[in-house]
């Protein structure tokens, strides 16, 4: 026997939580499936920058639980089980999960992205033993030590700055001639005496028996190899969209993200996509929140009228 809701949301990051909040406020019965503690990639971030009203940033471990509480107060049901399958069911969608089947006329995909792995020798074996993607989780444990950060974009710079507050030295290795991303972060990184930049450099191997002891790197132009003695490596080299569940149900762009219109509607009736998983996402917290409101309003109209987008 399936549980029925007006709106089902898959993914408990900021996009999913915000969609739950708006759909709940619109008076719909809402279920949100998560695969762990809600909050997604922002849950562990010490300082979310760029959110209006928070000049000094806001901790993700504050903002996400508060948003969850707001949604719960509106009656949103949280299911701590990942969605394992999605299929069309009558006028709506059936979602399979460890908690049983859920049926909803409106579905919001908010499954976000996964961090791309480097795919290097030693990476899987030493994951959690010096290989990490969370600076704020591990920086206090690495006080006075040396870490490599792979990547030169916003996330890499933001996390390198967190690491530099605790570690003796942070070495950023990146493809290309220099840092890419927000000027604020670039300036802060370039001015930080604890952060060293190694451009045109790619990691080739992570070295260590029971814990990371070094990272082998190669100069992109000359091919010259080198070994950096380090206690940890943090990787921020790109994002892979979590769209496996809907790959056969909706149109995806060439990066694998869900194609949507301005109201976050996919080409499948009743299915919206929000946050990092949708085509053209700005990959910002406020973007995730805005998408969420647009999708919840679009589904509200759809539930009332049955009309979907033209294309």
Ligand X SMILES: Cc1cc2nc3c(=O)[nH]c(=O)nc-3n(C[C@H](O)[C@H](O)[C@H](O)COP(=O)(O)OP(=O)(O)OC[C@H]3O[C@@H](n4cnc5c(N)ncnc54)[C@H](O)[C@@H]3O)c2cc1C
Task: Work out how close the CB of 75 gets to ligand X at its nearest, in angstroms, rounded to a whole number.
Answer: 20
The single residue listed with the structure tokens 């917290």 is 285
Contacting residues toward ligand X, per CB under 6 A: 10-16, 33-35, 40-42, 45, 48-50, 82-83, 110-113, 155, 158-159, 242, 245, 275-277, 283-286, 288
Which two structure tokens, joined as six digits, stand for 150?
Answer: 């792979």
Task: Work out how close the CB of 234 gets to ligand X at its nearest, in angstroms, rounded to a whole number.
Answer: 9
Q: Are strands 131-132 and 232-235 parallel, antiparallel or unpaired?
A: parallel
Rounded Cα–Cα distance for residues 253 and 295 (Å): 19
Q: Are strands 146-150 and 232-235 parallel, antiparallel or unpaired?
A: parallel
Q: Which is nearer to ligand X, 214 or 289 (CB)?
A: 289
Q: Which is nearer to ligand X, 8 or 26 (CB)?
A: 8
Cβ atoms 118, 203 nearer than 8 A: yes
Cβ atoms 286, 63 nearer than 8 A: no
Element (DSSP H or E) covering residue 256: none
Task: Work out how close the CB of 33 gets to ligand X at its nearest, in angstroms, rounded to a whole number.
Answer: 5
Task: Work out how close the CB of 97 gets to ligand X at its nearest, in angstroms, rounded to a whole number.
Answer: 7
The single residue listed with the structure tokens 């899987």 is 124
Q: Which is nearer to ligand X, 86 or 207 (CB)?
A: 86
- Give the full edge-to-edge strand order of the sheet including 195-198: 131-132, 232-235, 146-150, 169-173, 195-198
Task: Work out how close the CB of 239 gets to ligand X at its nearest, in angstroms, rounded to a whole number.
Answer: 8
Task: Work out how close the CB of 40 gets to ligand X at its nearest, in angstroms, rounded to a whole number.
Answer: 2
Q: Which is nearer to ligand X, 113 or 132 (CB)?
A: 113
- CA dist 123 → 65, 117, 221, 311 (Å): 31, 8, 24, 44
Q: Which is nearer to ligand X, 96 or 204 (CB)?
A: 96
Rounded Cα–Cα distance for residues 44 and 206 (Å): 24
């Amino acid at each position: 026997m399936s549980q029925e809701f007006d709106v089902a949301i898959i993914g408990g990051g900021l996009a999913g939580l915000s969609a739950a909040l708006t759909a709940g406020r619109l008076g719909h019965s809402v279920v949100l499936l998560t695969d762990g503690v809600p909050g997604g990639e922002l849950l562990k971030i010490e300082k979310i920058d760029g959110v209006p009203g928070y000049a000094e940033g806001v901790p993700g471990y504050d903002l996400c639980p508060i948003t969850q509480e707001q949604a719960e107060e509106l009656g949103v049901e949280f299911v701590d089980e990942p969605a394992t399958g999605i299929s069309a069911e009558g006028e709506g969608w059936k979602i399979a999960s460890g908690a049983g089947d859920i049926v909803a006329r409106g579905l919001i995909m908010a499954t976000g992205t996964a961090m791309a792995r480097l795919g290097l020798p030693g990476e899987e074996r030493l994951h959690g033993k010096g290989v990490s993607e969370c600076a704020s989780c591990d920086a206090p444990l690495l006080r006075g030590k040396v870490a490599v950060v792979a990547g030169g974009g916003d996330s890499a710079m933001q996390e390198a700055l967190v690491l530099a507050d605790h570690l003796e030295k942070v070495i950023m290795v990146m493809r290309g001639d220099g840092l890419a991303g927000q000027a604020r972060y670039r300036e802060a990184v370039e001015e930080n005496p604890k952060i060293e930049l190694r451009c045109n450099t790619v990691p080739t191997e992570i070295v260590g028996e029971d814990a990371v002891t070094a990272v082998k790197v190669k100069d992109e132009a000359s091919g010259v190899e080198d070994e950096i003695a380090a206690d940890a490596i943090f990787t921020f080299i790109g994002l892979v969209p979590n769209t496996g569940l809907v790959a056969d149900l909706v149109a995806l762009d060439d990066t694998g993200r869900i194609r949507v219109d301005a109201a976050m509607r996919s080409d499948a009736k009743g299915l919206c996509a929000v946050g990092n998983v949708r085509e053209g996402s700005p990959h910002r917290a406020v973007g995730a929140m805005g998408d969420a409101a647009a999708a919840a309003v679009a589904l509200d109209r759809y539930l009332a009228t049955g009309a979907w987008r033209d294309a």
